[in-house]
Structure 1
Amino acid sequence: MRHSKEAQERAVALMRAGEKPLLDIAREFNVSTTTLRTWFRASEARVRAQLSAKRVATALSQEKYTRASQRQRLLMHALEQSPATIIVTDSEGKIVYANPKFVSTTGYRIEEVIGLTPRILKSGETSPEEYRRLWNTIKAGREWRGVFHNRRKDGSLYWERASISPVHDAKGRITHFMAVKEDITSFMEADAARRRIAAEFTAVFAALPAAIVVIDAQQRILLANPAAEVLLGAPLARGMRFAELNLRWVDADSAALAVADHPVLQLLAAAGNDTARQAVVGVIPPKGGVRWLRCQCRTVAMPENDEAVVLMVMNEADEPQGSAAE
C-alpha cells in the first residue's frame, strides 16, 4: 500500500515523540516496523540536508552582508578621512552629504548645509554662463572640471579645483552628483605672487636707462630691455642668436671685430674661468655710423639649473682717441 507524504510525516512525528510503541504505530498506518524505520531514516536525511542548506545559506548571506558592510565602512572611512572636500547632492543639486574636510575648509557645519545647494559658497566671481555649462555637462552624464573662487562662512575667499560627476543607479538614471574639490588657495596665491613679482621686474627692467642684454650659453638672447634696442639700433627678440644680429662691431682701434671676439662671447667661452670683463667697442647698426659703447660683462649662474649666462650692461662711451671711426 502506497502512503502519502503527509502520512509518512505523521508516522515519523509519532516515532520522534516516543509516546507510542513502534508496533502500535505500525498497526495504525498498516505498515511494517521496517518501513517505519525506512521513513524515519529518510526523514532524518531530509532534515540534515535542510539544516545543512540553511547553514550554507546563512553563511553565504552573512558573508555577503559582511563584505558589503566592509566595503561600505571602507568607503565611508575613505570619504571621512579624505584630504579633499567631498560633497554629494541629489539630482536637484541639494546637499545630502559633506565630509569633515568640507567643514574645515568652508567653516559650515554639516547640519547647516544639508538640504541647501552649493550656491551658499558662491563669491560672485564665477559667471552665470560657466554655471550653466557646468550644470548642462553633468546633467548630460559627463564629468565637469574647473576652478572656483568661493567664499567661506566667515566671508574669506578661497580657491578650489573641482571635479563634479553624475552618479547613476542600476537603470542608468542620474540620482546624485558628487563633487571632489581640492583647496588650492596656497598655490593660487603663490602663483599670483610670482606673476606680480614678474610683472614688477618687467616694469623695472623696461624702465632702466642702461642697456641690458642677457645671453645664454647657446648665444641666444634671453632678455633685452628697450634701452638696449635703442642703443644698438636693432630689435633684440628673445631667442635670437647674438651672432645673427644685423650688427657689425669694431674694436677701440676701429678695426673690424669678429663676433666671436666680442667680449660677451669671449666671456661665455671662458665662463668657468672668468667672471667679469669690460671693454669699449663700437657697433655699426643697420643704418650705419659707429656708436661707441662701454660694455661691462659678467657671468651669472641661473638659479634653477646653475647654467652660466652672461649679463651685458652697455652705456654710451666717448670715441677712443686715435680711432679711425667710419
Structure 2
Amino acid sequence: MQAIKNYKWRTNPDIAILEFIKDNVAVSVSDKLGRIIYANDCFCAKIECKENELLGVVNSIFLSKINENSFYKNLWNRLENGCVWQGALNYKTKTQKLIRFETTIVPLKDTKGNVESFVFMYLDEVKVNQECYEPSM
C-alpha cells in the first residue's frame, strides 16, 4: 500500500494532497447566512451526523456556550469583512459530546468582491495534541 501511495505522490502530487485532505481534514461550507451547504465525510463523522442532517442548518447549532456571544459576533464581523479567521472553536456533537477544533474559516467572494460563502476547515485539537505527545519507541 505504501508503494501505491509513493507512486501516486510522484506521478500526481495534487491528487495525493487532495486525498490526504479529504481523509484527514474536516471541511464544511456555509452560505453567507451561515447555513451549511456542504460537509465532507470527515466532518460528519466527527460531529456524529449525516450530511443530509446538516444541509440548510445554521452552523451555530454546534457551538457550545463556552465562548461568549461577543466572541462569535467579533468572529462573524471579521469574516463578513473578508478576513480569514483562525482559532479554536468548541462544538457539540449530535450526542452532546464537546469537541474542540483548531479551525480556519475562509470567506469566499463573488466577482464583485462580496462575501458569498465560507469554507470551514477543522483539525481536532485533541487528536493533534495526542499525536504530538505520544512517546517514541
Q: What TM-score range do you get, normalising by the shorter chain?
A: 0.7 to 0.9
The alpha-carbon deviation at position 188 of structure 1 amounts to 5.7
Identity, % of aligned pairs? 24
The alpha-carbon deviation at position 171 of structure 1 amounts to 2.0
The partner residue of 1:128 within 48, 69, 72 is: 69
Q: Could you list the runs of 5+ residues in structure 1 that have no partner in the other structure?
A: 1-73, 191-326
Determine the structure 2 residue equivalent to 1:89. 30
Q: Could you list the runs of 5+ residues in structure 2 that have no partner in the other structure?
A: 1-14, 132-137
Structure 2 counterpart SS, 1:119? helix
Per-residue displacement from partner, 1:172-205 (whole Å, max 9, x unpaired)?
Answer: 1211111111001245689xxxxxxxxxxxxxxx
Q: 2:108 touches 2:118 (CA, 8 Å); kept in 1?
A: yes
Give me the TM-score of the superposition, normalised by structure 2: 0.76
Amino acid at match of 1:103: C
Per-residue displacement from partner, 1:267-309 (whole Å, max 9, x unpaired)?
Answer: xxxxxxxxxxxxxxxxxxxxxxxxxxxxxxxxxxxxxxxxxxx
The alpha-carbon deviation at position 149 of structure 1 amounts to 2.1
* Root mean square deviation of aligned Cα: 2.3
The alpha-carbon deviation at position 123 of structure 1 amounts to 1.8
Q: 2:34 touches 2:60 (CA, 8 Å); kept in 1?
A: no
Question: Using CA pairs below 8 Å that are at least 6 residues apart, which structure has the higher relative contact order?
Answer: 2
Q: 1:79 touches 1:99 (CA, 8 Å); kept in 2?
A: no
Amino acid at match of 1:171: K
Distance in 1 between the 2:98 and 2:65 partners? 11
Give me the TM-score of the superposition, normalised by structure 1: 0.33
Give the count of matched residue pairs.
Answer: 116
Distance in 1 between the 2:23 and 2:116 partners? 23
The alpha-carbon deviation at position 116 of structure 1 amounts to 0.6
The partner residue of 2:81 within 130, 140, 143 is: 140
Amino acid at match of 2:72: Y
Amino acid at match of 1:184: E
Distance in 1 between the 2:126 and 2:25 partners? 13
Q: How does 1:8-157 map to 2 (within 5 A)?
A: 78=19, 81-157=22-98
